[in-house]
Structure 1
Amino acid sequence: MEGMIWQLIVPLVVLQLILIIVALIDLRRVDATNGPKWLWVLIIIFGNLAGPILYFIVGRKV
């Protein structure tokens, strides 16, 4: 039972870390965002899995 829990948690943690890193790199490269960049950094880091996804949907100016 304990092994099955790790098989579920580890991929989610890895996905979350990858999304955070990619979102922070993208945030650093773009010039304009919807809102201040410092706020997006906090949302990306502390928003768990939803933070980076929100940044890519709402935070980027097209």
Structure 2
Amino acid sequence: MPDIIREYLPILIPIIILEIALMFYSLRHVLKHDRYKFGSRTMWILIVIIIQIIGPILYLTIGREEE
């Protein structure tokens, strides 16, 4: 393994875990609920999956309808 990867691995692992956890939580919420502040289910699924860590944060802050 190159030294640069070994050097940044302790920083990257928590970020990757956070990204995956946010994505799964957001996808579960999108699929479970029918109402959103704006947009459709398909749009939010694509945003959450394609726009890696920012997509789930966008959904959780501006996309999800209050319960």
TM-score of the pair, normalised by structure 2: 0.84
RMSD: 1.1
- Picking from 11, 14, 20, the partner of 1:11 is 14
Larger radius of gyration: 2
Query: Could you tell me how far 1:61 is from its partner in structure 2?
Result: 1.5
After superposition, give the CA deviation of every residue in 1:2-58 in whole Å (9 maximum; x if it has no partner). Answer: 433000111101110000000000111112012111010010001111100000111
Structure 1 residue runs without a partner (length 5+): none
Report how many residues are paired.
62
Identity %: 27
Helix, strand or coil for the counterpart of 1:32? coil
TM-score of the pair, normalised by structure 1: 0.90
Structure 2 residue runs without a partner (length 5+): none
Spell out structure 1 runs of 4+ moving beyond 2 A. Answer: 1-4
